[in-house]
């Protein structure tokens, strides 16, 4: 098992070091987004409204326990395995069986959306400036991750909710690989395979 985990870690770091869109550079002006990490999971934070994209038709105030949080100007999107999301509201709730089950593969995935103020920049948060057309591509990727007509589930608190998603989660297609794929789809310089937070954040200023 130790050898398998070591090989997985090495492959992830190698895959994360191979650049895609190597010539990309941020514009001087554009749409600002954030990429954040809690040490294990990464997510993408975007404006509630920008460049012709308005999230209120997809992520509605009525989806929240307290609709007043919809006044916050930012939306944080993350993708992950359903059981892991619902049964681990904090890292103290993580169980080895839940992690292993997700790593071996699951078609039951969710989008997690928080209504938030602007994140504070730090070692676990990066800011990225996108051209309007790049941002619209990113938004299209995020929207396509939601299951059409999928159910909404209550979130952890008053300002978040879960939504049924598309895609198969596995040790290859992790939440961080999803974040990297979203940024590559937008056209941002990113690693070819980003299974870990460091393989995502390492490419961002």
For 61-103, the DSSP string reads GGGSSSGGGGGSSEEEEEEEEHHHHHH-SSGGG--HHHHHHHH
The phi and psi torsions of 50 (rounded to 5 degrees) equal: -170, 145
Contact 163, 152 (CB under 8 A): yes
User: Distance (Å, rounded) from C-alpha 149 to C-alpha 166?
Assistant: 11
pLDDT per residue as tens, the chain (205 positions): 666 667 877 888 889 999 999 999 999 999 999 999 988 889 999 999 999 999 999 999 999 999 999 999 999 999 999 988 887 655 555 556 555 555 666 899 999 999 999 998 888 999 999 999 999 999 999 999 999 999 999 999 999 999 999 999 998 999 999 999 999 999 999 999 999 999 999 999 8
User: Distance (Å, rounded) from C-alpha 154 to C-alpha 162?
Assistant: 6
**Confidence (pTM):** 0.92
């Amino acid at each position: 098992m130790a050898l398998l985990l070591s090989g997985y870690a090495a492959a992830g770091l190698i895959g994360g070091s191979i650049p895609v869109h190597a010539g990309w550079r941020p514009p001087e002006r554009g749409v600002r987004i954030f990429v954040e990490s809690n040490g294990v999971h990464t997510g993408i934070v975007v404006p509630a409204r920008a460049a012709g994209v308005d999230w209120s038709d997809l992520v509605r105030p009525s989806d929240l326990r307290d609709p007043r949080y919809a006044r916050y100007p930012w939306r944080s999107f993350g993708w992950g395995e359903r059981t892991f999301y619902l049964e681990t509201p904090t890292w103290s709730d993580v169980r080895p069986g839940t992690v292993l089950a997700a790593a071996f593969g699951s078609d039951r995935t969710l989008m997690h959306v928080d209504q938030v103020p602007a994140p504070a920049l730090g070692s676990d948060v990066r800011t990225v400036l996108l051209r309007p057309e790049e941002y619209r591509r990113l938004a299209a990727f995020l929207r396509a991750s939601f299951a059409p007509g999928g159910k909404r589930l209550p979130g952890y608190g008053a300002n978040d909710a879960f939504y049924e998603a598309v895609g198969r989660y596995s040790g290859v297609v992790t939440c961080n690989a999803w974040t990297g794929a979203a940024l590559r789809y937008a056209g941002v310089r990113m690693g070819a395979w980003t299974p870990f937070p460091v393989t995502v954040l390492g490419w961002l200023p």
